[in-house]
Structure 1
Amino acid sequence: MNEGLLEQLETWHEQDEYEKIVDAVQEVPVEERDYELVNHLGRALNNLERYEEAVAQFLTVAEEGADDPLWQYRIGLAYYYLEQYDKAEQAFERSDELEPGDEDTLEFLEWIRNRDDEEEEDEDSAGEVQEGVELENGTAEEQPAVISSINVVHVDPPVPVSGEFWNDSELALEQYVSDPPSDGLVESVEEQLVFRLPVSYIEMMKEHNGGIPYHRFFPVTNEESGETGYVEIEGILGIGREKRHALCGTEGSWAVIERDGYPEIGVVIAKAPSEAGIVMLDYRSYGNDGEPEVVYVDKNERKITPLAPNFETFIQGLMRPEV
């Protein structure tokens, strides 16, 4: 394989030029693509969130990847975001077996197992109800379930923010984390967003500009049932334009609002997994002269649910599941 091409692909990867990687590799005839080249293509497709295509590419070199922890991790990541959790878990377990202790692999396994536990609890609860318990307006099967419109994730037990906050995984560094913003960049981004960013948010981004936190769960109480669930976020958008998940990046605030039709009430600072909803700074109450509230907006119903009175309180309220 041409070493010059491989060096160019790696350079584009470092520059987040994933489309260029895809185009360049696809120009190579299929029969001439070796294992390394296919992995470059699959990784780029993952970074472009084209997960089905990524899986198809990885599977063409499955035999060679069987004993490669990085190949297992990458196909596991694609399966995870396709919500094929059984296959993702198998891949991550194999990756951990080949290279024990990798933090990113263990974290994905943790997320999957938390989801499995939640589904088992929901199934147990549903089974108990369906045994014919009488309710005020009829049998359990006839009574519509009362559920929260928030896409909550139940973690048992969660623990508050403490110790290291940011998880600088490969994915985080590629798609979220930028250099600390200058005052000029902050001003430029604010002008593009048409909103003044909170001082606490700017200060945090000057310390670590965007990323994926270990603490990704914010507690929310269902007003109807009184039960507490947890809004899960994938990552926090940094101040900038270069990274895919930055305030003015290709998956930034206005891009998400315009594409998905969210209400134009402020600035998107985080998304829920599988794009189930977003976390926003809400400027409706105080405008640009005050501190915006932090709210969750459900993608399907567009229901706006308050989370915290300000950004600092939101960050302090984030929790992580205890393994």
Structure 2
Amino acid sequence: MRKHFKGFWLPFDQYTNPISVTDEMIAQAEQTLNFKLPRSYIELIKTKNGGIPVNSCFPTMVPTSWAENHIEIEKIRGLGGDEGIDSEDVRSTDKDWGYPIHLGFVICDCPSAGHDAVMLDYSQCGKNGEPRVIHVDVENPDHPKITILSKDFKTFINGLVNCKKFEE
């Protein structure tokens, strides 16, 4: 395991894909998604193929549908299987929910039963660039509310904090 991700993941959770990520899986996912995956995401999922991080809240400067000053993620999606970012069923469900998948793809699910999620947004960098990370609220699927969270995935994962920080 890479040292800088030591302690990042909860040790056991129902969302981890038991299949270890390979370079072939990464290449296939990029072909399926038609987007280049961020290096920081690849490094992360090579330590554990998706799951629940120990720190699952991300502070925001503006209110979101989740809270006045943060969002919470339920899990980070891995590759392969029925729930990976490259799963056709997952992509179809994300599209049906109203997520703007023309911008990129959902990378983190939130605990709102599908009403909001965290996406990688390639709209400014192109399909091969370094995407920014956005929170998307699809309560009104005709007009999803987008909140920019970070300039890239590395900044996002480094910015995750323990949710106890936000408990009153």
| TM-score, scaled to structure 1 | 0.44
1:276 to 97, 101, 115: 115
Structure 1 residues 258-291: Cα deviation after superposition (integer angstroms, max 9, x where no partner): 2212112101101111222010000000102320
Return the offset for 1:192: 0.7
Give the SS at the match of 2:149.
strand
The whole-number CA distance in structure 1 between the counterparts of 2:88 and 2:31 is 17
* Count of aligned residue pairs for this structure pair: 154
Structure with more of its chain in strand, by fraction:
2
The whole-number CA distance in structure 1 between the counterparts of 2:41 and 2:11 is 19
Q: What is residue 93 of structure 2 aligned with on the other side?
A: 256
For residues 127-166 of structure 1, the aligned pairs below 5 Å read 164-166=7-9
The whole-number CA distance in structure 1 between the counterparts of 2:74 and 2:26 is 23
Matched, 1:212 2:52: yes
Q: What is residue 293 of structure 1 aligned with on the other side?
A: 132
Q: What is residue 247 of structure 1 aligned with on the other side?
A: 85
Return the offset for 1:307: 0.2
Asked if structure 2 preserves the Cα contact closer than 8 Å seen for 1:219 and 1:228, the reply is no
Matched, 1:179 2:19: yes
| Aligned AA (1:260) | W
Give the direction of change, closer, same or farther, for the CA distance of 1:306–1:169 in structure 2 (3 Å limit). same
Q: What is residue 103 of structure 1 aligned with on the other side?
A: none
| Aligned AA (2:94) | I
For structure 2, the residue ranges without an aligned partner over 5 or more in a row are none
Give the direction of change, closer, same or farther, for the CA distance of 1:291–1:170 in structure 2 (3 Å limit). closer
1:192 to 12, 29, 32: 32
2:69 to 221, 226, 229: 229
Give the SS at the match of 1:186.
helix
Return the offset for 1:216: 0.7
The whole-number CA distance in structure 1 between the counterparts of 2:7 and 2:89 is 26
The whole-number CA distance in structure 1 between the counterparts of 2:17 and 2:11 is 8
Return the offset for 1:191: 0.7
Q: What is residue 307 of structure 1 aligned with on the other side?
A: 149
Return the offset for 1:163: 6.5
Asked if structure 2 preserves the Cα contact closer than 8 Å seen for 1:220 and 1:307, the reply is yes
Structure 1 residues 209-229: Cα deviation after superposition (integer angstroms, max 9, x where no partner): 101112110001127xxx951
Q: What is residue 267 of structure 1 aligned with on the other side?
A: 105
Give the direction of change, closer, same or farther, for the CA distance of 1:239–1:163 in structure 2 (3 Å limit). closer
Identical-pair percentage: 36
Matched, 1:316 2:158: yes
| Aligned AA (1:303) | K
| Aligned AA (2:74) | E
Asked if structure 2 preserves the Cα contact closer than 8 Å seen for 1:178 and 1:210, the reply is no
Give the SS at the match of 2:96.
helix
Asked if structure 1 preserves the Cα contact closer than 8 Å seen for 2:52 and 2:74, the reply is yes
For residues 114-133 of structure 1, the aligned pairs below 5 Å read none
Larger radius of gyration: 1
Structure 1 residues 221-253: Cα deviation after superposition (integer angstroms, max 9, x where no partner): 127xxx95110111000022x1x321123663x
Give the SS at the match of 2:76.
coil
Give the SS at the match of 2:162.
strand
